Protein backbone atom coordinates (compact mmCIF):
# COMPACT_ATOMS: atom_id res chain seq x y z
CA UNK A 1 0.00 0.00 0.00
CA UNK A 2 1.14 3.51 -0.78
CA UNK A 3 2.77 4.86 2.42
CA UNK A 4 1.63 8.35 1.53
CA UNK A 5 -1.99 7.14 1.79
CA UNK A 6 -1.76 4.49 4.52
CA UNK A 7 -0.07 4.25 7.90
CA UNK A 8 0.94 0.64 8.57
CA UNK A 9 2.32 -0.93 11.72
CA UNK A 10 3.84 -4.37 11.30
CA UNK A 11 3.61 -6.84 14.19
CA UNK A 12 7.12 -8.21 14.42
CA UNK A 13 7.16 -11.99 14.45
CA UNK A 14 3.39 -12.30 14.03
CA UNK A 15 3.27 -12.13 10.26
CA UNK A 16 0.57 -9.46 10.40
CA UNK A 17 0.09 -5.72 10.08
CA UNK A 18 -2.50 -3.06 10.80
CA UNK A 19 -3.18 -0.14 8.47
CA UNK A 20 -5.26 3.02 8.55
CA UNK A 21 -5.93 5.19 5.53
CA UNK A 22 -4.64 8.67 6.20
CA UNK A 23 -5.62 12.10 4.93
CA UNK A 24 -2.41 13.83 5.96
CA UNK A 25 0.39 13.94 8.48
CA UNK A 26 -0.32 16.66 11.02
CA UNK A 27 2.95 16.65 12.96
CA UNK A 28 6.23 14.83 13.49
CA UNK A 29 9.17 15.39 15.78
CA UNK A 30 11.99 13.65 17.59
CA UNK A 31 11.60 14.38 21.29
CA UNK A 32 14.35 13.78 23.80
CA UNK A 33 13.02 10.24 24.24
CA UNK A 34 11.11 9.02 21.17
CA UNK A 35 9.86 9.78 17.67
CA UNK A 36 6.35 11.22 17.65
CA UNK A 37 3.91 11.43 14.72
CA UNK A 38 0.31 12.63 14.45
CA UNK A 39 -1.88 11.69 11.48
CA UNK A 40 -5.37 12.65 10.42
CA UNK A 41 -7.03 9.43 9.28
CA UNK A 42 -10.11 8.93 7.14
CA UNK A 43 -12.18 6.92 9.63
CA UNK A 44 -10.40 6.86 13.03
CA UNK A 45 -9.94 10.58 13.59
CA UNK A 46 -6.49 11.62 14.72
CA UNK A 47 -3.82 9.00 15.36
CA UNK A 48 -0.73 9.29 17.56
CA UNK A 49 2.23 7.10 16.67
CA UNK A 50 5.32 6.68 18.86
CA UNK A 51 8.45 5.08 17.43
CA UNK A 52 6.37 3.62 14.60
CA UNK A 53 3.74 2.05 16.88
CA UNK A 54 0.10 3.13 17.12
CA UNK A 55 -0.68 4.65 20.52
CA UNK A 56 -4.07 6.35 20.50
CA UNK A 57 -6.80 7.26 18.05
CA UNK A 58 -9.83 9.49 18.40
CA UNK A 59 -12.24 6.69 17.47
CA UNK A 60 -11.27 3.80 19.72
CA UNK A 61 -9.24 5.14 22.67
CA UNK A 62 -12.17 4.65 25.07
CA UNK A 63 -11.63 0.87 25.16
CA UNK A 64 -8.14 1.23 26.56
CA UNK A 65 -8.58 4.23 28.85
CA UNK A 66 -11.77 2.93 30.45
CA UNK A 67 -10.45 -0.60 30.97
CA UNK A 68 -7.12 0.60 32.36
CA UNK A 69 -8.89 2.62 35.04
CA UNK A 70 -12.42 1.60 36.05
CA UNK A 71 -11.92 -2.13 36.76
CA UNK A 72 -9.13 -1.34 39.21
CA UNK A 73 -10.92 1.59 40.81
CA UNK A 74 -14.07 -0.49 41.29
CA UNK A 75 -12.02 -3.33 42.77
CA UNK A 76 -10.24 -1.22 45.38
CA UNK A 77 -12.57 -0.62 48.36
CA UNK A 78 -11.95 3.14 48.56
CA UNK A 79 -9.39 4.57 46.13
CA UNK A 80 -8.23 8.04 47.13
CA UNK A 81 -4.70 8.37 45.79
CA UNK A 82 -3.85 7.17 42.28
CA UNK A 83 -0.62 7.34 40.30
CA UNK A 84 -0.48 6.91 36.54
CA UNK A 85 2.94 5.95 35.24
CA UNK A 86 3.06 7.01 31.60
CA UNK A 87 -0.34 7.94 30.21
CA UNK A 88 0.95 11.08 28.53
CA UNK A 89 -2.13 11.39 26.31
CA UNK A 90 -4.09 12.02 29.55
CA UNK A 91 -7.06 9.80 28.68
CA UNK A 92 -6.54 7.50 31.66
CA UNK A 93 -6.20 10.52 33.95
CA UNK A 94 -9.56 11.78 32.69
CA UNK A 95 -11.22 8.44 33.51
CA UNK A 96 -9.63 8.19 36.95
CA UNK A 97 -10.86 11.64 37.91
CA UNK A 98 -14.45 10.65 37.12
CA UNK A 99 -14.44 8.78 40.45
CA UNK A 100 -15.62 11.05 43.30
CA UNK A 101 -13.55 9.13 45.87
CA UNK A 102 -10.26 10.09 44.18
CA UNK A 103 -8.64 12.95 46.06
CA UNK A 104 -5.31 13.09 44.24
CA UNK A 105 -4.15 11.71 40.90
CA UNK A 106 -0.53 12.05 39.85
CA UNK A 107 0.42 11.41 36.24
CA UNK A 108 4.13 10.76 35.76
CA UNK A 109 5.32 10.66 32.16
CA UNK A 110 8.94 11.11 31.17
CA UNK A 111 8.10 12.81 27.86
CA UNK A 112 6.25 16.11 28.19
CA UNK A 113 5.92 16.38 24.43
CA UNK A 114 3.36 13.55 24.38
CA UNK A 115 1.07 15.55 26.64
CA UNK A 116 1.59 18.83 24.81
CA UNK A 117 0.70 17.19 21.49
CA UNK A 118 -2.33 15.48 23.06
CA UNK A 119 -3.54 18.88 24.24
CA UNK A 120 -3.50 20.06 20.63
CA UNK A 121 -4.70 16.99 18.72
CA UNK A 122 -6.71 15.10 21.38
CA UNK A 123 -8.16 17.91 23.55
CA UNK A 124 -11.08 15.72 24.66
CA UNK A 125 -8.61 13.43 26.45
CA UNK A 126 -7.06 16.38 28.29
CA UNK A 127 -10.24 17.95 29.62
CA UNK A 128 -9.37 17.02 33.23
CA UNK A 129 -5.76 18.23 33.14
CA UNK A 130 -6.72 21.35 35.10
CA UNK A 131 -8.78 19.48 37.69
CA UNK A 132 -7.44 20.59 41.12
CA UNK A 133 -6.94 16.93 42.02
CA UNK A 134 -4.63 16.36 39.03
CA UNK A 135 -0.86 16.67 39.27
CA UNK A 136 1.13 16.26 36.03
CA UNK A 137 4.82 15.49 36.41
CA UNK A 138 7.28 15.04 33.55
CA UNK A 139 9.92 12.92 35.22
CA UNK A 140 11.13 9.32 35.34
CA UNK A 141 8.28 7.17 36.67
CA UNK A 142 10.62 4.38 37.72
CA UNK A 143 12.57 6.77 39.95
CA UNK A 144 9.33 8.31 41.26
CA UNK A 145 8.13 4.93 42.50
CA UNK A 146 11.55 3.97 43.85
CA UNK A 147 11.80 7.16 45.91
CA UNK A 148 8.20 7.10 47.15
CA UNK A 149 7.33 6.68 50.81
CA UNK A 150 5.93 3.31 51.94
CA UNK A 151 2.13 2.94 52.01
CA UNK A 152 1.60 6.16 50.08
CA UNK A 153 -0.68 5.22 47.16
CA UNK A 154 -3.83 3.15 46.67
CA UNK A 155 -3.60 2.37 42.94
CA UNK A 156 -0.71 2.50 40.48
CA UNK A 157 -1.74 2.41 36.82
CA UNK A 158 1.11 1.64 34.44
CA UNK A 159 -0.13 3.11 31.17
CA UNK A 160 3.04 2.56 29.19
CA UNK A 161 4.21 1.91 25.68
CA UNK A 162 5.53 -1.53 24.72
CA UNK A 163 8.42 -2.87 26.88
CA UNK A 164 11.13 -1.26 24.78
CA UNK A 165 12.94 2.06 25.04
CA UNK A 166 11.85 4.29 27.97
CA UNK A 167 9.21 1.75 29.10
CA UNK A 168 11.45 -1.32 29.32
CA UNK A 169 12.18 -0.90 33.03
CA UNK A 170 8.45 -0.83 33.85
CA UNK A 171 8.15 -4.58 33.23
CA UNK A 172 10.80 -5.88 35.67
CA UNK A 173 10.83 -7.33 39.17
CA UNK A 174 12.73 -4.36 40.64
CA UNK A 175 10.01 -1.95 39.55
CA UNK A 176 7.26 -4.24 40.86
CA UNK A 177 9.07 -4.54 44.20
CA UNK A 178 9.16 -0.75 44.49
CA UNK A 179 5.43 -0.66 43.66
CA UNK A 180 4.77 -3.22 46.40
CA UNK A 181 6.60 -1.07 48.93
CA UNK A 182 4.63 2.12 48.27
CA UNK A 183 1.16 0.57 47.91
CA UNK A 184 -1.24 0.78 50.84
CA UNK A 185 -2.66 -2.36 52.47
CA UNK A 186 -5.39 -2.83 49.86
CA UNK A 187 -3.27 -1.33 47.11
CA UNK A 188 -3.48 -2.42 43.49
CA UNK A 189 -1.15 -2.26 40.52
CA UNK A 190 -2.69 -2.43 37.05
CA UNK A 191 -0.55 -2.56 33.93
CA UNK A 192 -1.26 -2.92 30.24
CA UNK A 193 -0.08 -6.42 29.34
CA UNK A 194 -0.19 -6.53 25.55
CA UNK A 195 -2.07 -9.16 23.49
CA UNK A 196 -2.68 -12.61 24.95
CA UNK A 197 -2.75 -13.96 21.40
CA UNK A 198 0.64 -12.56 20.38
CA UNK A 199 2.44 -11.91 23.67
CA UNK A 200 1.46 -14.72 26.03
CA UNK A 201 5.07 -15.24 27.10
CA UNK A 202 5.30 -11.59 28.10
CA UNK A 203 2.19 -11.93 30.29
CA UNK A 204 3.74 -15.00 31.93
CA UNK A 205 6.97 -13.11 32.59
CA UNK A 206 5.05 -10.12 33.98
CA UNK A 207 2.97 -12.22 36.34
CA UNK A 208 6.00 -14.19 37.49
CA UNK A 209 7.89 -10.97 38.16
CA UNK A 210 4.90 -9.50 40.03
CA UNK A 211 4.68 -12.61 42.17
CA UNK A 212 8.41 -12.54 42.89
CA UNK A 213 8.02 -8.95 44.05
CA UNK A 214 5.27 -9.92 46.52
CA UNK A 215 2.30 -9.02 44.30
CA UNK A 216 1.15 -12.62 44.28
CA UNK A 217 -2.56 -12.01 43.62
CA UNK A 218 -2.92 -11.38 39.90
CA UNK A 219 -5.87 -11.11 37.54
CA UNK A 220 -5.72 -10.51 33.79
CA UNK A 221 -8.66 -8.93 32.01
CA UNK A 222 -9.29 -8.68 28.27
CA UNK A 223 -10.81 -6.06 26.00
CA UNK A 224 -10.87 -5.08 22.32
CA UNK A 225 -8.41 -2.51 21.02
CA UNK A 226 -8.72 -2.05 17.29
CA UNK A 227 -5.45 -0.25 16.54
CA UNK A 228 -3.17 -2.53 18.57
CA UNK A 229 -1.63 -5.76 17.23
CA UNK A 230 -4.28 -8.53 16.96
CA UNK A 231 -7.05 -6.09 17.98
CA UNK A 232 -7.36 -7.87 21.34
CA UNK A 233 -5.59 -6.41 24.37
CA UNK A 234 -5.21 -7.05 28.07
CA UNK A 235 -4.42 -5.48 31.42
CA UNK A 236 -3.16 -7.28 34.50
CA UNK A 237 -4.15 -6.29 38.03
CA UNK A 238 -1.92 -7.32 40.94
CA UNK A 239 -2.27 -6.70 44.68
CA UNK A 240 -0.10 -7.10 47.75
CA UNK A 241 -2.95 -8.76 49.63
CA UNK A 242 -5.97 -10.72 48.43
CA UNK A 243 -7.91 -8.85 45.76
CA UNK A 244 -10.92 -7.04 47.17
CA UNK A 245 -14.34 -7.93 45.83
CA UNK A 246 -15.59 -6.11 42.75
CA UNK A 247 -17.88 -3.30 43.92
CA UNK A 248 -20.51 -4.32 41.42
CA UNK A 249 -23.32 -2.28 42.96
CA UNK A 250 -21.22 0.89 42.73
CA UNK A 251 -20.26 0.13 39.13
CA UNK A 252 -23.91 -0.39 38.19
CA UNK A 253 -24.70 3.01 39.69
CA UNK A 254 -21.61 4.89 38.53
CA UNK A 255 -22.19 8.66 38.59
CA UNK A 256 -20.50 9.30 35.24
CA UNK A 257 -20.77 8.33 31.59
CA UNK A 258 -18.63 5.77 29.79
CA UNK A 259 -18.63 4.49 26.24
CA UNK A 260 -17.62 0.85 26.85
CA UNK A 261 -17.20 0.06 30.54
CA UNK A 262 -20.05 -1.07 32.76
CA UNK A 263 -20.55 -3.74 35.42
CA UNK A 264 -21.38 -6.44 32.86
CA UNK A 265 -18.28 -5.63 30.80
CA UNK A 266 -16.19 -5.74 33.98
CA UNK A 267 -17.39 -9.24 34.78
CA UNK A 268 -17.07 -10.39 31.17
CA UNK A 269 -13.50 -9.10 30.87
CA UNK A 270 -12.40 -11.54 33.56
CA UNK A 271 -13.56 -14.61 31.61
CA UNK A 272 -10.46 -16.47 30.45
CA UNK A 273 -10.13 -18.52 27.27
CA UNK A 274 -8.99 -22.13 27.58
CA UNK A 275 -5.52 -21.56 26.17
CA UNK A 276 -4.93 -18.85 28.79
CA UNK A 277 -6.13 -21.06 31.64
CA UNK A 278 -3.92 -23.89 30.44
CA UNK A 279 -0.90 -21.60 30.18
CA UNK A 280 -1.21 -20.70 33.85
CA UNK A 281 -2.60 -24.07 35.03
CA UNK A 282 -5.42 -22.21 36.80
CA UNK A 283 -7.41 -19.03 36.45
CA UNK A 284 -6.16 -16.50 38.96
Q: What is the 3-state secondary structure (H, E, C) of the chain?
A: CCCCCEEEEEECCCCEEEEEEEEEEEEEEECCCCEEEEEEECCCCEEEEECCEEEEECCCHHHHHHHHHHHHHCCCCCCCEEEEEECCCCHHHHHHCCCCCCCEEEEECCCHHHHHHHHHHCHHHHCCCCCCCEEEECCCHHHHHHHCCCCCEEEEEEECCCCCHHHHHHHCHHHHHHHHHHEEEEEEEEEECCCCCCCHHHHHHHHHHHHHCCCCEEEEEEEECCCCHHHEEEEEEEECCCCCCCCHHHHHCCCCCCCCCCHHHHHHHCCCCHHHHHHHCCCC
pLDDT of residue 217: 92
pLDDT of residue 104: 98
Say whether both 37 and 93 belong to one domain.
no
Say whether both 70 and 48 belong to one domain.
no
Say whether both 139 and 89 belong to one domain.
yes
Say whether both 70 and 187 belong to one domain.
yes
Domain residues for the domain of 207 are: 61-280
Residue 112 lies in a domain: yes
Number of domains in the chain: 2
Say whether both 118 and 207 belong to one domain.
yes
Say whether both 44 and 169 belong to one domain.
no
User: CATH number, domain at 27?
Assistant: 2.30.140.10
Say whether both 76 and 41 belong to one domain.
no
Say whether both 146 and 48 belong to one domain.
no
Does the active-site annotation cover 32?
no
CA atoms within 13 A of residue 282's CA, in its CB half-sphere: 3
Residue 1 lies in a domain: no
pLDDT of residue 2: 85
Say whether both 127 and 200 belong to one domain.
yes
pLDDT tens, residue order, the chain (284 aa): 788 899 999 987 889 999 999 999 999 999 999 999 999 999 999 999 999 999 999 999 999 999 999 999 999 999 999 999 999 999 999 999 999 999 999 999 999 999 999 999 999 999 999 999 999 999 999 999 999 999 999 999 999 866 655 556 677 899 999 999 999 999 999 999 999 999 999 999 999 999 999 998 999 999 999 999 999 999 999 998 889 999 999 999 999 999 999 999 999 999 999 999 999 875 44
Domain boundary among 23, 38, 57: 57
Out of 109, 111, 154, 159, the active site residue is 159
Say whether both 231 and 120 belong to one domain.
yes
Instruction: Specify which residues 170 forms β-bridges with.
Output: none
Say whether both 136 and 188 belong to one domain.
yes
Say whether both 89 and 39 belong to one domain.
no
Amino acid sequence: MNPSEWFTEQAAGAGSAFSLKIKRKLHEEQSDFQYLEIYETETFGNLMVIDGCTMVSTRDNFFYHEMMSHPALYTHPNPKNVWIIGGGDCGTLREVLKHPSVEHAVQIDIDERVTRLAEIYFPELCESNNDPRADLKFIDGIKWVKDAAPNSVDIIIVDSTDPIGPAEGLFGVDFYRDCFNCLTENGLLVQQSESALLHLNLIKEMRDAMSSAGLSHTQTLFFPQCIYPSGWWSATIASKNALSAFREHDAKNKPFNTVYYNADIHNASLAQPEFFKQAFNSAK
